[in-house]
Amino acid sequence: MRHGGFPLKRTLLLAAVATLAAQQVFGGPWLKSLTAAQKKAKAQNALIFVDLFADWCGWCHKMEQEVFPSESFQKATENKVLLRLNTEDNGEGTKLSQKYGVTSLPTFLLLTADGAVAGTIRGFIPANDFVRIMNDAEAKYKDFVKRAKAEDSISKDYAKRLDLAREFRSHFELPETEARLQKLIGEFGVPTKVRDDAYFELAMTQVVEKKYDAALKTIRKFSTVQNTGESYERSRLLAADIYILQGQVQMAVSFQGKLPEVAVHPECRRRPAATRAARQAAVAGARATLRSHRIFCRGRASGAVRFAGSSK
pLDDT, tens digit, 9 for 90 and up, residues 25-72: 455 689 999 999 999 999 999 999 999 999 999 999 999 999 999 999
Mean pLDDT comparison of 188-202, 225-239, 263-277, 290-304, highest-scoring range: 188-202
**pLDDT confidence of residue 299:** 30
Mean pLDDT across 190-202: 98
| pLDDT given for residue 249 in this prediction | 82
The mean predicted confidence, pLDDT, of the chain is: 82
pLDDT bucket at 301, cuts 50 / 70 / 90: very low
For residue 50, the SS3 value is strand
Give domain limits for the chain. 31-146, 152-307
> What's the whole-number mean pLDDT along residues 240-265?
71
Higher pLDDT, 153 or 249: 153
Residue 22 is predicted with a pLDDT of 44
DSSP class of 229? S
Mean pLDDT on 129-143: 98
What secondary structure, in 3-state letters, does 91-112 show? Answer: CHHHHHHHHCCCCEECEEEEEC
Same fold, 31-146 and 152-307: no
pLDDT cut 90: percent of the chain above it: 68
Q: Is the pTM of this model over 0.75?
A: yes
Q: How many residues does the structure list for the chain?
A: 312
- Widest distance between CA atoms in the chain: 83
Among the CATH numbers 3.30.710.10, 3.30.565.10, 2.160.20.10, 3.40.30.10, which is that of 31-146?
Answer: 3.40.30.10
5-to-9, 12, 14, 15, 211 alpha-carbon distances in Å: 12, 13, 14, 15, 60
Determine the pLDDT at residue 26. Answer: 55
- Which has more pLDDT, 247 or 80? 80
Q: What is the pLDDT at residue 235? A: 94
pLDDT at residue 28, rounded to an integer: 60
Neighbour-count burial of 146, counting CB atoms closer than 10 A to its CB (0-12 exposed, 13-18 middle, 19+ buried): exposed
Cα–Cα distance for residue pair 70/64, rounded to 1 Å: 10
Q: What is the CA radius of gyration of the chain?
A: 24
Q: For residues 66 and 162, give the distance between their C-alpha atoms in angstroms, rounded to a whole number.
A: 42
Write out pLDDT tens, residues 6-37.
Answer: 443 444 444 444 444 444 445 568 999 999 99
Q: In this structure, are residues 145 and 86 in contact, taking their beta carbons and an 8 Å threshold?
A: no
Q: Which residues, other chains included, contact 30 with Cβ-Cβ below 8 Å and sequence gap of 6+?
A: 23, 51, 82, 83, 84
Phi, psi for residue 119 in degrees, rounded to 5? -175, 155
Residue pair 137/77 in contact (Cβ under 8 Å)? The answer is no
Task: Classify 152-307 by CATH class.
Answer: mainly alpha
Tell me which of 27-36, 126-135, 277-286 is least confident: 277-286
According to the model, what pLDDT value does residue 223 have? 96
